[in-house]
Structure 1
């Protein structure tokens, strides 16, 4: 019998494009983290003249993002063609690139070439990593694992290329889940960002977010005495499960227990990813199933769509029902993607506390900033792995949580988009960010101002007012759009990633919330904005808008400075030592973490001590920078300190 080839996307043509993109990204991000230092190169005869800060042949930019005379953005004599020599000069990469604030590089991918002993050679991301290993300091024992993550990232890129997807203009008007499934880049900073070690090729097609295929979750009954089930304030267990499963499904599960001679009152219901059931639960927890501490109930009726985070699923049949996040023992981007029953125990309490704080704050309400509460959590601990003295990833195999859906919270004129879409380019190279600006009909500066009001201002306020820090990267934020312009955001993934950066807060928060406390100084508190927002999101967006000709980079950062200054001016009562207009900040490097240990980038119990720094990074909104005044609008005026900076 002839089988259909599930790897039809692995073609020479698709892989060539994927290799070029990943090598270009690796050069850009490793250079950003000061692991590489390309040298200016004489360029190629007959190549089109570069424009200041734009792509070859693109119109020059004026500070307002308008086509016109060449902008005074970079010294015209500064290099745009670069050379990177490796292996004693035997291997050489040549390319054109633009450099932006925060040492952000945007390579002109078609110009990227590789030479070995002077001979043009195909680009190869794995060969690039091997060439760089001594410089990157990847441990010998982990090199093959990192190379496997690179291979998987390439395979993912090839799949997306062959599958195709909506254009940027279409995504600017698309529905929530179409946008979610259309993302191609993964985390913008990490090079090996789609490792997903453990997924087979058929499972990739079934469960990867970009496949866009709904699937059903597997449900287990977990013996109550070995299982912790936590609920948010005001919720009752059976009523909650009835709302999430439906009465008929809940009754059917209980009937299956009765049919097996078991009492439903002795069990709690635990959702499991189908991959986890097949590869982990039915094998790794075989004794627990045999003892009926875990009982297989079958698939649920509702279908779910995997989100970008892979182990979080959105209810495709009823958009008002909660997301479900499950443990998934897939190695991806520096972690095995398990879920800790110990962490799940207090997750609803942490969410209740954060939601109450956020919901009572007028500044956050004005910005349209809301959090998506994790209503309930469950974790099974009756297995042998919880009885060993050594903590292992096996303790994170059976847990889940329910997170509220943002859909019921929308006004009729509003729609949703993952914030990651702002860094997405379609197959033709067009960006969703520029498409949204165009679709909104607003001047680019006004659109960016609205975006910063919804995103940056609340992050700054939470930090300065409450010492509260989130993990605000693109996948963790959901934009609320009205006429293609941002009017608010939903922050998610609260229980695992929120932090209260003050030891003094321990005296005023409930016992169940104290896990999130981390005592750090003001300079490290500021990194919650500098690293996670400026470096993790805004440097990429600034480069995209500038290269597109949508908004000049200098004007972008002037708007960021305006946002920070306005918040400070309007909240003089917040006596904080956090200085977001400082001259520089510690340059925290994400790829260095993954390169050091691709199996576990950081110690989640002490993330501060795990970080790796590469000196200091000049702050793009430092007080010493001189910004051209951004035209005032009815929505906001430039703060005095910005205009005089």
Structure 2
């Protein structure tokens, strides 16, 4: 990659920052003589062409973007330059600014890898990819500016373990004494031996049993626990040394099946054909909003939550043929007493060693079906867009395809809230759409450990979900759909559709409004969850980091509110 391409990545991320921080009401953008201006000082300003979307957010034309200093065009500038200039506007302390810039440089390095990965791949080829392959080449969270922060990883880790590198690797396995673990699975439905067989062949399992026996220990007293190789080297081998020296933890090394990372970093897909399970492993790096460990809260009974959600869906006539649950079938956590007894310490020290087994996407597909994370619909480059290829495969018109998407994805998510008072934070990674011959057919949902909540008036409020679900007032829970899917995914998707398929944003949302109106016609929808009301609350995510900083004892970031958004779904807007 040459210097022009390198600085162009900085420019792209600055453009994204301006767009998102204008939406979050931090930047005042001036408009004069057909151009937009972001004035930093008397000497420095940025100018560009663009438009204001139906969400009242700025959409910048990249080719028109220029930086001026003392009346002259600046040719090379960095993301660090930009955030140093706007530090006071963003109200960041020096400490927060420095770490924010570190996250930015990490994100740009990930973009460098991704650009190299995509150089020789065309859109038509990507449109044939399975879930695992397409997920690896996605850019990351569209709304969060620093979406590849991964603080804690260096160059070698990013090139080996980041999804855009498209590498496969074995995980590090440990045998850990059962009496030192929190663990859960439904033993009437599944055995750990079945999970082991998804990662090991018979000869490998035999060698593992022989190694444990060589310590004069009983294999049945232990569970096999997968650990990310980086996590083992960085944390487990040192911080859990007391348990290792007591043979409570026995290191087995890197062995078994190879895995590739999904865009969420800590979830891994097996490379073995016919594999039934993904692994979700603790990786104690800060990525986007929090450190990506495995919380203990859902370990023991998390599988019961998955089973309960699946049963509710199976018993619902609207959902049963439209929604598939990727069940989290088993989980293990190994507490470390030295950290657990410290009540005021950072949460990350209590999430260092754990894993979850989740059903794989590919295990849920039928003939002529592929599944893609809904975030894949945002993928476009100068040669076209992925959604245009899917529409071409389906032989539907753009409007017919979109209508089918809304019926297959949005309506089931809305029905789950309207009928059951249950909400999933429906962003582009944990909502997966099944396509048959390119056309949307069904929705797959996943990530119930923390991303699944209940309305305070849910008809299931007194039922046993296995774990205690976070409960919100229905008018707040509905934002799992409004903010989680409309603002966080569709806001970008409608732009891709307009720019690549010439289907206007306004028409996109009016079509969605009609689909929702048809659903609501025979339902008694309360105003507090009415998706056709005049305004929505605006939830801010990037600004939260500027306020909260990076304190080691800070809990996961909580969003803030901006001014209300005029509802683009209304036909008279």
TM-score normalised by structure 1 residue count: 0.84
Distance in 1 (alpha carbons) for counterparts of 2:524 and 2:32? 52
Q: CA deviation at 1:558?
A: 1.3
Q: Does 1:433 align with 2:394?
A: no
- From the superposition, tell whether residues 203 and 388 of structure 1 become closer, same or farther in structure 2 (CA, over 3 Å): same
Is the 2:117–2:164 contact (alpha carbons within 8 Å) kept by the matching residues of 1? no
- Residue matched to 1:114: 67
Q: Does 1:485 align with 2:439?
A: yes
- SS in structure 2 of the partner of residue 437 of structure 1: helix
- Residue matched to 2:516: 564
| CA shift digits 1:353-387 (9 cap, x unpaired) | 11111222111134x22110000000001441122
- Residue matched to 1:539: 491
Q: CA deviation at 1:170?
A: 2.2
Structure 1, 284-293 or 146-155: larger mean CA deviation: 284-293
Structure 1, 443-452 or 339-348: larger mean CA deviation: 339-348
- Residue matched to 1:331: 286
Alignment RMSD, CA only? 2.2
Alignment of 1:145-544 (within 5 A): 145-165=99-119, 166-183=121-138, 185-232=139-186, 234-246=188-200, 247-366=202-321, 368-392=322-346, 393-426=348-381, 428=382, 430-502=384-456, 508-510=462-464, 512-513=466-467, 515-520=468-473, 522-544=474-496
Is the 1:557–1:620 contact (alpha carbons within 8 Å) kept by the matching residues of 2? yes
Distance in 2 (alpha carbons) for counterparts of 1:519 and 1:28? 30
Distance in 2 (alpha carbons) for counterparts of 1:132 and 1:233? 56
Q: CA deviation at 1:319?
A: 4.0
- Residue matched to 1:37: 28
Distance in 2 (alpha carbons) for counterparts of 1:39 and 1:110? 19
- From the superposition, tell whether residues 390 and 407 of structure 1 become closer, same or farther in structure 2 (CA, over 3 Å): same
- From the superposition, tell whether residues 603 and 474 of structure 1 become closer, same or farther in structure 2 (CA, over 3 Å): farther
Q: Does 1:92 align with 2:92?
A: no
Q: CA deviation at 1:582?
A: 0.9
- SS in structure 2 of the partner of residue 453 of structure 1: helix
Q: Does 1:614 align with 2:562?
A: yes
- Residue matched to 1:22: 13
- From the superposition, tell whether residues 548 and 507 of structure 1 become closer, same or farther in structure 2 (CA, over 3 Å): closer
Gaps of 5+ in 1: 1-8, 43-78, 628-645
Is the 2:424–2:481 contact (alpha carbons within 8 Å) kept by the matching residues of 1? no
Distance in 2 (alpha carbons) for counterparts of 1:460 and 1:602? 36
- SS in structure 2 of the partner of residue 342 of structure 1: coil
| CA shift digits 1:319-360 (9 cap, x unpaired) | 432000000011111211111123322211211111111222
- SS in structure 1 of the partner of residue 367 of structure 2: coil
Distance in 1 (alpha carbons) for counterparts of 2:457 and 2:246? 44
Q: CA deviation at 1:455?
A: 0.9
Distance in 1 (alpha carbons) for counterparts of 2:532 and 2:340? 47
- From the superposition, tell whether residues 256 and 293 of structure 1 become closer, same or farther in structure 2 (CA, over 3 Å): same
Distance in 1 (alpha carbons) for counterparts of 2:331 and 2:528? 36
Distance in 1 (alpha carbons) for counterparts of 2:431 and 2:437? 19
| CA shift digits 1:73-94 (9 cap, x unpaired) | xxxxxx4x211101x3321000
- From the superposition, tell whether residues 452 and 260 of structure 1 become closer, same or farther in structure 2 (CA, over 3 Å): same
Q: Does 1:626 align with 2:572?
A: yes
Gaps of 5+ in 2: none
Is the 1:336–1:600 contact (alpha carbons within 8 Å) kept by the matching residues of 2? no
- SS in structure 2 of the partner of residue 490 of structure 1: strand
- Residue matched to 1:637: none
- From the superposition, tell whether residues 248 and 594 of structure 1 become closer, same or farther in structure 2 (CA, over 3 Å): farther
| CA shift digits 1:185-239 (9 cap, x unpaired) | 2111011110111222122111110111110011111121110120047334344
Distance in 2 (alpha carbons) for counterparts of 1:319 and 1:312? 17
- Residue matched to 1:634: none
Distance in 1 (alpha carbons) for counterparts of 2:459 and 2:300? 21
Structure 1, 411-420 or 244-253: larger mean CA deviation: 244-253
TM-score normalised by structure 2 residue count: 0.94
Is the 1:333–1:594 contact (alpha carbons within 8 Å) kept by the matching residues of 2? no
Is the 1:334–1:601 contact (alpha carbons within 8 Å) kept by the matching residues of 2? no
Distance in 1 (alpha carbons) for counterparts of 2:476 and 2:550? 25
Q: Does 1:589 align with 2:540?
A: yes
Distance in 1 (alpha carbons) for counterparts of 2:203 and 2:518? 53
- From the superposition, tell whether residues 568 and 507 of structure 1 become closer, same or farther in structure 2 (CA, over 3 Å): closer
Distance in 1 (alpha carbons) for counterparts of 2:366 and 2:552? 40
- Residue matched to 1:553: 505
Instruction: Figure out how many residues of one structure are paired with residues of the other and give that number.
Output: 569
Distance in 1 (alpha carbons) for counterparts of 2:309 and 2:50? 43
Alignment of 1:67-146 (within 5 A): 79=34, 81-86=35-40, 88-121=41-74, 122-146=76-100
Distance in 2 (alpha carbons) for counterparts of 1:476 and 1:233? 27
Distance in 2 (alpha carbons) for counterparts of 1:442 and 1:431? 16
- SS in structure 1 of the partner of residue 531 of structure 2: coil
- From the superposition, tell whether residues 177 and 573 of structure 1 become closer, same or farther in structure 2 (CA, over 3 Å): same
Q: CA deviation at 1:562?
A: 1.4
Is the 2:198–2:275 contact (alpha carbons within 8 Å) kept by the matching residues of 1? no
Distance in 1 (alpha carbons) for counterparts of 2:402 and 2:318? 19
Is the 1:293–1:382 contact (alpha carbons within 8 Å) kept by the matching residues of 2? no
- From the superposition, tell whether residues 387 and 266 of structure 1 become closer, same or farther in structure 2 (CA, over 3 Å): farther
- Residue matched to 1:642: none
